[in-house]
A and B are shown apart, each in its own frame.
Chain A
Amino acid sequence: MSVISRLHRLTGEDRKASGGNNDGRSKAEQLASLRARIDAILSRRPEGQKTKPRSTGRGGFVPLEELVPGEETTNEAGAFFCACHLMEGSARHGRFRIRELAALDMDRLAVLGNDPALRGLDYREALFFDTETTGIAGGTGTVAFLIGLGWFERDAFIIRQFFARDYGEERATLLGLRELLEGKRFLVSFNGKAFDANLLAARFIMNRMPDPLSGLPHLDLLHPARRLLSHRLPDRRLGSLESALLGFEREEDVPGSEIPQRYFDWLRSRDGLLMADVFKHNRFDILSLAALAAHLSEMLDPGDTRCHPVDRLAAARLFLARGYPREAIRLLHPLVGCASPETAWDAARELSLHYKRTKQWPAAVAIWEELVLRDDSDFFSLIELAKWFEHQQRDFTRALALVERARVNEQILSPDQCADLVHRKKRLERKLAGRKGLARQTI
């Protein structure tokens, strides 16, 4: 008996239909029933395989070439489909014109990426990239079937999308990527360090090819975007950044979660309609990546006053975290006097703590005193001043007086803050008593 009929027996498929005898059932019926039954064995989670919209509505089959501008490309490793796009400098992506994206300040990109190696490079040597894959679980069974790439040439933006029309073409797309990278010096991505570059590294190994990505500087915008924008956004997906910051709205975009199934369906049907949306989705991702790079680097421009104060505060914090205090101070100074009291207070706090760290005491003390003047119950400043009197001036009496002032508002303080006050007060009283005792002895 064949393996498959034995398998059918194990899964109970043969007997339910006609008592162990398949006569009289069409092969198609058998297969359909087999599929249904095997589902139970194959997928542990019944909800794992959702039915996804398969067609985009036009019903008929349309070749990919008619929907996506591009052509078959060949190299030593074989053929693949390469989609080509050129965005002129005057074209728009959201609120940006393409040529506005091009003039990227490499010093600022180096701050964003926390990678000094970027500083000496030219923005035209950047390769923006994003992949579409057969899943997000990772592991060697996940394939990047579409590799989207973008770069600047003069003030235009070029997009190339390498598409493996079948698994057999993957090798050629990888070789294509390697060849293209010969002219590029660094990578720009959104979450590419953790995902796309890792996945491609695995694909290169699976195809027994050296990985051209691993040695290159890689600016992953996810992390700086998180630091700079977390105060404004509900989540950090590229899509939500787009509408909020880049002024770009996608219409009829295919959700990322549907993309793997679209590809599996394409493999069987070769219906271009399935993939055309995926190409568009990926193209927007690449463009928005370039626009996001421009936006984030704008935020780091101390001279750019169009930015919202909150954003400038975030930028200053990034500069501080990355070890660029001068730039941070340039941003923070004007913010101390800005219209929003919360932002002004935050800026003053950051600035004073920077002065404290660098032991520029008069500057720090001036800020704290200013803050106390504005609000005589300002816990942070009262305590910072108390610390300064205690540890720098060794004036325990004034320090204690400040602690007592902070205690007036005890009811609005957190338990930790209260405990801190009590602790500080006891210590100061001890020190004062000790000093009196000492004074008496010397008399």
Chain B
Amino acid sequence: MTKLTLKEWLSRAEKKRRFMENVRAIRKISARPGEFLDYPSWVNPVLRKVLVDRGLGRLYSHQAKAVDLVRQGQSIVIVTPTASGKTLCYNLPVLQKILEEPEARALYLFPTKALAQDQMHEIHGLIGELKADIKTYTYDGDTPDDARRAIRKQGHVIVTNPDMLHAGILPHHTKWQKLFANLQYVVIDELHVYRGIFGSHFTNVLRRLVRICRFYGSDPVFICCSATVANPGEHAERLLERSVALIDESGAPAAAKTFILYNPPIVNRELGIRQSAMTPVRKIAVDLIENGIQTIVFATSRLNVEVLTKYLKDRFAKGKPIDTQFVTGYRGGYLPNLRRRIEAGLRNREIMGVVATNALELGIDIGDLEASILCGYPGSIASTWQQAGRAGRRTGQSLALLIARSSPLDQFIVENPDYFFSRSPEFCRVNPDNLLILLHHIKSAAFELPFEKGERFGGENLEELLNYLEEKGVLHRVDARWHWSAESYPADEVSLRSINPENVVVVDTTETGNHRVIAEVDWDSAFTTVHTDAVYMMESRQYYVDNLDLERKTAYVHKVDTDYYTDAMTYTNVRVIDAFAKKPGTEILVEHGEVQVVSKVVGYKKIKFYTSENLGYGEVNLPEKDMHTTSCWFTIPRPRLAGLSCNQEEIIDGLAGLAYSLHHLAAMMLMADLHDIDRAIGDKSGEWFVRKYRNWRTITTTPGGGNDALQMVDAFDPTIFLFDAYPGGIGFSDLLFERHDALLDAARQLIRNCPCPHGCPSCVGPTLEVGPRAKETAIEILGLLQAK
């Protein structure tokens, strides 16, 4: 068989009817030449020579602009595609400065250890060629104790992550005197990763960093890089709390790229079930690799990576040694050495196929691959472009293929190519002044340095909060200073990445005398996944939960072999406390504000594997959870609903279906995880709310009420709430309020364009759950909501 080039492969594919039937869009992005500028005159001749010898004869225009601004002391954010030489935008000014002033120091922050390692290699290489005495170290949890002292004293460039800065460096700043006193540059790569809760924490870590720098008399310039999002400049200024120049025009040449959106065929029209995305992914990947086209496959979970790798290995390992690396997996749990070997194998084309999680999405150098297959929408357009960018970094032809799963997000993206291909609609949001987050960091900051009267930290009244902490006994005020006055180490009390630092451990008690911890579940999920009598799934094994002990934060389980799994039933009751703003002019209320959310897991369903048959119910007795947060809501006045041609139960189903799709689409617009926002239906008083009970829905006033309240729909104005799933809110609902038109439009497109007859998991939710007329009714309700 003669091997096809990628170009030939593409033209053959475009002639195949069975392939093209599933293709929703093909975009040919033509190659673009580079725009170059000369090195600025101030660049050290040796440094310039090293770069020129590396083949960088001139700078891309955005690089030249970036290094000049940085040189002038301006903080910047660079937003250009993958492989456009962002690294040089910070390495050049940093190395230049250290060559001029050997005392100068720089701090590099990467969101993951793997990225930090990779960047270390990059800058190490440059320094080696410079033959300069510049020391670069990574400093993270893996750094051996005996190396730490030398790193603190001698490192010119310290490469670390925000968690380490937060808990390991800032609270010990006196040991880092040399770094903080001479800190000239702070580099923050992958700025878009710092959003939501992580970003809100990170902003506060930066506030603390700047405060410590001020103590030592330094005022560093910030150099940031970000993937393409809707608001990179605004986001950078919100994180850094200073003016930031935005550089978003790439001068790098780009290869021609073919981008295909592919939707697997429907196999059960009634239930709206599509072929698994894994099937076409496997077939296409095999075909490409057989033709000698180096291919990367991105899967959305570790499990999928392993499954796909197995498929590909089985296919290619025939007659080859078992340990062949011709195709391989790549994900977080792999040991660093193995990962380095895989990265090298990709660069020298010994590895022709790799299946990866998003661990390979960020800037790790794996050379120029030709094809990138995305098994499922990665959750944001920014990630999609980054993953697509791993193929064809500078020259030639490349292919990116997104294969959709049946989730509403995936379906919306492939069925609305214009939404995807036009400018990024995704916003990064942070709320660093969320009181609980702010309070944690005020404590950490006070530990680092006493607060002085008149100091500022965040947007709230600092003195009030300091007095409050004094009242609490963790601060002690002497004259005009508040000193840390407790034994604890406050940075250890907060995790920057998770909502609630509490975890529940799952203990397997199957073998007497050999109890072992098999998993950790975060506090909030514990209520729904490891409640007493639940069936917990782990590595495709089933465990029966004997007891969830909340006080000990432990769930005791034993292995079972059941033919069912459990699905928790919850109710959520939302009460409006304070409406901040209202969209004017319509009868339909669109508002946002502060709400109280009470939720409780009341029971569970037993669902049979494969058939999804409902086998029975059980009760769960867990405390309710009570939270204040911010929400955006839509209220439809009763009289308007009365005009619809459906009964009250159907109206509730329609609202539930609409809420389902709004929830998914809101997560998409916010680049948020589905768990970061939540939804509920009720009325604004909190007296009425919709509750799922067994297999019907009720509107009820009391958590214990049965379905006798069903007829009461007339008594209230139904409201759909979308709220931040974090006490105090993270800023998501403000944005949903601002952009509610776009959100409603997207929901209309999603539901209208979905080919299922009565609703499916891709639009309003599975028919069996939302009822037979949910889809129609949802569209009618949308009509009301959007009526001008």
Q: Interface of A with B (CB < 8 Å)? A: 2-4, 6-7, 9-10, 12, 15, 20, 31, 34-35, 38, 41-44, 48, 134-135, 137-141, 143, 166-168, 201-202, 205-206, 260-261, 264, 267-268
Contact = CB atoms under 8 A, between A and B. Distances in A.
A34 B473 CA distance: 12
A139 B171 contact: yes
Given A3-B464, A7-B439, A20-B577, 19 more contacts: A9-B628, A10-B628, A10-B727, A43-B493, A48-B488, A139-B172, A139-B447, A140-B173, A141-B171, A141-B489, A143-B483, A167-B481, A167-B483, A202-B175, A205-B177, A206-B449, A261-B487, A267-B476, A267-B485
Interface string B484-516: 111111101100000001100000000000000
B787 interface: no
Contacts of B468: 4, 7
Contact of A140 (B172, B487, B488): B172
Contacts of B594: 9
A10 B447 contact: no
Nearest to A136: B487
Interface string B633-675: 0000000000000000000000000000000000000000000
B150 interface: no
Interface string B466-483: 001001111010110101
A141 B472 contact: no
Contact of B436 (A10, A20, A138): A10
B172 A31 contact: no
B461 interface: yes
Contacts of B483: 143, 167
A44 B472 contact: no
B381 to A, nearest CB: 33
Interface in B224-250: none
Contact of A260 (B436, B461, B487): B487
A325 B550 CA distance: 62
B499 to A, nearest CB: 13
A308 B134 CA distance: 55
Contacts of A2: 461, 464
Interface in B270-328: none
B589 interface: no
Contacts of A38: 472
Contacts of B485: 134, 167, 264, 267
A3 B443 CA distance: 16
A435 B304 CA distance: 66
Contacts of A143: 483
A34 B468 CA distance: 10
B702 interface: no
Contacts of A10: 435-436, 628, 727-728
A268 B478 CA distance: 11
Contacts of A206: 174, 449
A251 B472 CA distance: 34
B489 A205 contact: no
A138 B472 contact: no
B173 to A, nearest CB: 6
Q: Looking at chain A's contact residues, is the secondary structure mostly helix, strand, loop, or mixed?
A: helix
Contacts of B628: 9-10, 12
B484 A41 contact: no
A5 to B, nearest CB: 10
Interface string B457-469: 0001100110010
B778 interface: no
Interface in B594-609: 594, 596
19 contacts: A3-B465, A9-B594, A9-B628, A12-B626, A31-B471, A35-B472, A38-B472, A41-B439, A134-B485, A135-B488, A137-B489, A140-B172, A140-B173, A140-B449, A141-B448, A168-B481, A206-B174, A267-B476, A267-B485
B425 to A, nearest CB: 31
Interface residues of B, number: 47
Interface in B76-120: none
A139 B479 contact: no
Contacts of B474: 42
Nearest to B484: A141
Interface string B150-182: 000000000000000000000111110100000
B345 interface: no
A432 B501 CA distance: 70
B436 A42 contact: no
Q: 10 closest A-B pairs (Cβ-Cβ)?
A: A141-B447, A202-B174, A141-B484, A135-B487, A167-B483, A139-B171, A168-B478, A205-B174, A137-B489, A44-B493
Nearest to A206: B174
B450 interface: yes
Most chain B beta-carbon neighbours within 10 Å: one of A2, A42, A141, A260: A141
A41 B500 CA distance: 10
B446 interface: yes
Contacts of B436: 7, 10, 41
B201 to A, nearest CB: 15
A17 B461 CA distance: 26
A3 B468 CA distance: 10
Given A31-B471, A140-B171, A140-B449, A264 B486 contact: yes
Nearest to A267: B476
Contacts of B448: 140-141
Contacts of A261: 487
A205 B464 CA distance: 29
Nearest to B477: A167
A31 to B, nearest CB: 7
Contacts of A168: 478-479, 481
B227 to A, nearest CB: 32
Contacts of A141: 171, 446-448, 484, 489-490
Contact of B487 (A3, A35, A134, A202): A134
B109 to A, nearest CB: 20
A35 B469 CA distance: 10
A359 to B, nearest CB: 34
A318 B728 CA distance: 61
B478 A166 contact: yes
Contacts of B450: 167
Nearest to A263: B485
Contacts of B461: 2-3
Most chain A beta-carbon neighbours within 10 Å: one of B173, B174, B468: B174
B304 to A, nearest CB: 34
A139 B461 CA distance: 27
Nearest to B494: A44
B723 to A, nearest CB: 14
Interface in B414-462: 435-436, 439, 443, 446-450, 460-461
A3 B435 contact: yes
A9 B577 CA distance: 10
